[in-house]
Chain A
């Protein structure tokens, strides 16, 4: 199958770290993406990782990939109220010519 699954809700306090989780299907030759969607807006690419990597860090964002468990996580350090949004995990097989399969999205709420 081509399912990508995410937890639906996450609530954190401003300044804390947020960890958003995702599980995906077959990990052979795949890209895994994290997108952010704010109300009324399109999708903003945050970061991506290829399936032969274990970790990628980009400023406040850290992506961890556990290939054995087919588990992907996005950690946001020092979470701010402006980080409140819906976060989507997406999988793309290298051979699929660009088709992205998205999870249902995780609604992140950051409290002051």
Chain B
């Protein structure tokens, strides 16, 4: 049984560009959350999707947006990339909001 799958694993983008990261949740899970983990820091909550709607959002600007599809997979989009957006982006899924999440291995984004 596959866990949480994220793609791509690594990505290099230029400042000002836009990026899309993808996540497939664990089988049976319908809730997806995204986290940003800067080097040497703990993950920071970006937002959560359930039933194709954004249910909760952390303290991130509108440049960060997302989407959830009917099959529960999700995308994270970041516009107008800044050098400070360089981080590991983690996707986590759960069978329902409030239980322990299963995390993917992340996408390492480098903005140059």
Residues of A within 8 A of B (CB): 4, 31, 33, 35, 40-45, 48, 88, 90, 92, 94, 96-105
Contact = CB atoms under 8 A, between A and B. Distances in A.
Given A42-B4, A42-B90, A43-B90, A102 B104 contact: no
B90 A100 contact: no
Given A42-B4, A102-B42, A97 B48 contact: yes
B56 interface: yes
B41 A100 contact: no
Given A42-B106, A97-B55, A98-B31, A88 B42 contact: yes
Contacts of B56: 96-99
Interface residues on B, range: 20 to 34
B97 A102 contact: no
Contacts of B41: 104-105
Contacts of B58: 99
Interface of B: 4, 31, 33, 35, 40-45, 48, 50, 55-56, 58, 90, 92, 94, 97-98, 100-106
B101 A98 contact: yes
Given A42-B4, A42-B103, A97 B43 contact: no
Contacts of A99: 33, 45, 48, 56, 58
Contact of A43 (B40, B43, B50, B94): B43
B94 to A, nearest CB: 6
B28 to A, nearest CB: 16
Contact of A100 (B45, B102, B105): B45
Given A41-B105, A98-B56, A99-B33, 7 more contacts: A88-B43, A96-B56, A97-B48, A97-B55, A97-B97, A98-B94, A100-B45
